[in-house]
Structure 1
């Protein structure tokens, strides 16, 4: 039996299709966008008689363009950075004001100002009372010069009858004879009132950072007492520098050293005073929170607090000169009102700086501090919950 030589129609059609299969189109690399270069497709002319889908291999591939995309101008980059800086500063200012209003810093500043004013007079009496015991060690005439200096300063802020009948009599009793009762009672009242003012600062700073539940009431009070004692030590050095001033400080230096000290005092007086104030504020912000703030993260708020205090002091001086000093309705209350306003501006400046630092930490956190806060809060919760953490 002879096998048929005929081929099926399906086989013939498959063979024909394989014979006339068009040339495959090579793959085209995807176009990648970038800031410095771009990719484009380079196509050769199609030979005559060839269709578009029958190009030779290698034609139509993507290669890197020789001419790179134009770079952004330097002026455009600077404008973009300036715009981001302005937008970030505006956002920081708005958020700081919003948080400060939410935390009631106006009322808390008034509370701190009251405690500061209440602590100043007992502290001064206690210091003067202690000076009465060591007056002989300071040299002859030292106590008398201190008394005259205090009376001169008091006459500038108090009425003449108050200076003659109250302040002069008190100074004579305290400085000349040394009053142990005034020293002891004055220090006790000063520590109580001053630590209360510092506790207001500590609690407000802690609330601004959202960490009020991380420290108990007893620890907060002990920390406030310690910070108040440190502040007394710092102010005992800083206040004489502020009262004396650079001119008087050059006069009291020995004559043999004046050729050296005059230039040093003239150049370095205000930088040293400003640096001490800035360091004191930064230290308060650093140690007030349960989780310590980085020193460099405390400096912006300290700088703003110092600026607000200086501007507020000048405004208060102008207000006292134009309103309080000339209004007959104030009378003998002019001095206490001016002192209370001064301490209010001081407290407000400190709390505004704390709110600014807290807002910076909230908007742009840095370092491991957020993780440490979460770990401490979790540990306190596991040890007994929020009730135990509040003491």
Structure 2
């Protein structure tokens, strides 16, 4: 069975005429693509389902750890995400943690089962939104069957949830665990941020490689976009957290919903950065296809 791939939309637009100029030409195409593609729609959809995924995923994680670790250790682990998330969001998550860890252990087991089921569904829906955004970045039409599309979305969605759980464990749970182990283990405390960056880079590379309905994107370009998206995501998250900490206008506008809005904005920012990274990858591939012997890019 053969598969016919659609021609990239880079060849259809007047703004994408074959231009040399190395990085200048790449960023020109990237700017035009960001202007013409509807990344806002895809990022908004992905952010909504990421929000739906967060709390059942958090409940599943805390239910699992609550069956193994003490509730005090679970609650104290959240302090490690300060600086990466706005303080109001951390407070919202802490309230949810307090609610979950107060359950009895049999209750935690039931919560774990139900949370996992809803987590997998909402994560796959959010991943499909991102995959449609990746298709827009590469100018590809969805050719995969419904079964294959949903299977890939479920696999990538579960991978994203596992990545988030691992990131939570590395960022938040590692410091209290090291404190129990003693002073000699504190040197590993500072490794959590590089580990997070490496894990995010790997996760994005896999998403860029297998997410779009496009002929296999080259690892060379996939890793460049993943590296840029990872760096921008970490810097943007820290900057967003600092901005929210110094500005309280959102509470005056949204009132009790302010924290929810902040969380949705944080998810939207992350999804948009992921799609921008895909646009960058597509621009690199397009230029390399036009000038395969030109290594100035």
Query: Structure 1: how far apart are the matches of 2:290 and 2:205?
Result: 17
Query: Structure 2: how far apart are the matches of 1:163 and 1:253?
Result: 25
Query: Structure 1: how far apart are the matches of 2:94 and 2:285?
Result: 49
Query: Structure 1: how far apart are the matches of 2:64 and 2:170?
Result: 21
Q: Does 1:214 align with 2:143?
A: yes
> Structure 1 residues 304, 253: closer, same or farther in 2, change over 3 A?
same
1:178 aligns to what?
107
Q: Which has the higher contact order (CA 8 A, sep 6+)?
A: 2
1:330 aligned counterpart, secondary structure: helix
1:178 aligned counterpart, secondary structure: helix
Which of 265, 274, 281 does residue 197 from structure 2 map onto? Answer: 274
1:287 aligns to what?
210
TM-score, with structure 1 as normaliser: 0.59
Contact 2:30 2:279 in 1 (8 A): yes
> Structure 1 residues 195, 157: closer, same or farther in 2, change over 3 A?
same
Query: Structure 1: how far apart are the matches of 2:154 and 2:92?
Result: 36
> Structure 1 residues 316, 227: closer, same or farther in 2, change over 3 A?
same
> Structure 1 residues 248, 160: closer, same or farther in 2, change over 3 A?
closer
> Structure 1 residues 184, 88: closer, same or farther in 2, change over 3 A?
same
Which of 267, 270, 280 does residue 356 from structure 1 map onto? Answer: 280
Query: Structure 2: how far apart are the matches of 1:332 and 1:152?
Result: 25
Structure showing the higher helix proportion among its residues: 2
- Give 5+ residue unaligned stretches, structure 2: 1-19, 293-297
C-alpha displacement of 1:148: 5.3
> Structure 1 residues 333, 213: closer, same or farther in 2, change over 3 A?
closer
2:259 aligns to what?
335
C-alpha displacement of 1:347: 0.1
Q: Does 1:305 align with 2:229?
A: yes
- Give 5+ residue unaligned stretches, structure 1: 1-85, 369-391
2:133 aligns to what?
204
Contact 2:228 2:277 in 1 (8 A): yes
C-alpha displacement of 1:198: 0.8
> Structure 1 residues 208, 151: closer, same or farther in 2, change over 3 A?
closer
TM-score, with structure 2 as normaliser: 0.76
1:146 aligns to what?
74
C-alpha displacement of 1:169: 4.1
C-alpha displacement of 1:285: 0.6
Contact 1:203 1:220 in 2 (8 A): no
Aligned length: 269
1:185-216 CA deviation, whole Å, 9 max, x = no partner? 32222111111111111222123223324323
Q: Rg bigger for which structure?
A: 1
Contact 1:113 1:347 in 2 (8 A): yes
Query: Structure 2: how far apart are the matches of 1:228 and 1:354?
Result: 17
2:22 aligned counterpart, secondary structure: helix
C-alpha displacement of 1:103: 2.2
Further displaced range: 278-287 or 342-351: 278-287
> Structure 1 residues 254, 168: closer, same or farther in 2, change over 3 A?
closer
Query: Structure 2: how far apart are the matches of 1:190 and 1:223?
Result: 16
1:328 aligned counterpart, secondary structure: helix
2:289 aligned counterpart, secondary structure: coil
Query: Structure 2: how far apart are the matches of 1:161 and 1:109?
Result: 23
Query: Structure 1: how far apart are the matches of 2:31 and 2:92?
Result: 44
Contact 1:113 1:343 in 2 (8 A): yes
Query: Structure 1: how far apart are the matches of 2:136 and 2:93?
Result: 42
Query: Structure 1: how far apart are the matches of 2:181 and 2:236?
Result: 32
C-alpha displacement of 1:224: 0.8
Query: Structure 2: how far apart are the matches of 1:108 and 1:330?
Result: 24
C-alpha displacement of 1:336: 0.9
1:45-90 CA deviation, whole Å, 9 max, x = no partner? xxxxxxxxxxxxxxxxxxxxxxxxxxxxxxxxxxxxxxxxx93222
1:119 aligns to what?
53
